[in-house]
Amino acid sequence: MLANLRQVFRYRALVSSLVARELKARYRGSVLGFFWTFVNPLLLLGIYTFVFTVLLGGAGAGTRPEPYALFLFCGILPWTWFQSSLLESCSVLIAGGNLIRKVLFPAEILPAVTVLTGLVNFCLGLLVFAGVAIFYGRPLISGDLIWLPAIILVQLALTLGLSLLLSSLTVHFRDIRDLLGNLLTLWFWGTPILYTMTAVPERFRAVFALNPFTHLAVAYQEVLFFDGPFTGWRSLLALGAFALVVLLFGYFVFDRLRDTLAEEV
């Protein structure tokens, strides 16, 4: 396993080239370029803002943070990264089957590239977020912003672990992708992205706390949206440890299935 990790490290130039290629290939020939990545979340943003502030304006007005669109953005941005990475991981090995079967090539590069491409998009999205924040006249720099890289790192580990797990399992069970699509919808609504954690009734909080993305979303909201010092560092630390376990487990499963990949894709 350690030797494998060394090999992945040796291929880091390839990984970065592949990420660049993914980005370039995706936006080549399109007018809006990388903004297409945000059309989807921005559309969601617009719809939710409209529905919750205009149509359902009265309902829950007291618990709703303002400006609501900016609050939504804090959660939807990392969620988009998470969701698209997991969904794409399900097909990345099958799509890259030619490489796995014909070229000596550490296959874990493919899901890693997917997750890292999502990360780059996420970081570009943060720039858009900054633009929206300026629009609402919010201060861009605050003290707890230094936690942001740590949060991103935790999400990266968690996403990568799940991505490795899903990508290798999907080779054997092709319907994981369909299953995952439904699961992610449930997951989205079960995560405080559209609402704050304080809006969750006390008796459900324990259940919500079991959802790892809850802690991520709350951390992003605290750092990017709410004023005051970052208070969630304990749960972030715990989540970091959990993400590491997921990463190791995902890699373990991937490694165990490695030899079957070339035969099954």
- When the beta carbons of 138 and 177 are compared against other proteins, the nearer one is 177
Closest CB 3 distance from other proteins, rounded Å: 13
- When the beta carbons of 6 and 174 are compared against other proteins, the nearer one is 174
Residues that bind other proteins (CB under 8 A): 11, 13-14, 17-18, 21, 24-25, 28-29, 96, 98-99, 101-105, 172-176, 179, 259-260, 262-264
Q: Tokens 């959660």 — which residue?
A: 75
Closest CB 209 distance from other proteins, rounded Å: 27
Quote the CA–CA distance of 128 and 126 in Å, as a whole number: 5
Q: What is the dihedral of CA 31, 35, 36, 39, to 10 degrees?
A: -130
69 and 75 Cβ atoms separated by less than 8 Å: no
- When the beta carbons of 20 and 134 are compared against other proteins, the nearer one is 20
- When the beta carbons of 172 and 205 are compared against other proteins, the nearer one is 172
- When the beta carbons of 20 and 145 are compared against other proteins, the nearer one is 20
Closest CB 36 distance from other proteins, rounded Å: 14
Closest CB 260 distance from other proteins, rounded Å: 7
Closest CB 104 distance from other proteins, rounded Å: 5
Tokens standing for residue 170: 């999907």
Contacts of 128 (CB under 8 A, 6+ apart): 38, 42
**For residue 211, with 0-12 CB atoms within 10 Å meaning exposed, 13-18 middle and 19 or more buried, which class applies?**
middle
- Residue 141: phi, psi to the nearest 5? -100, 125
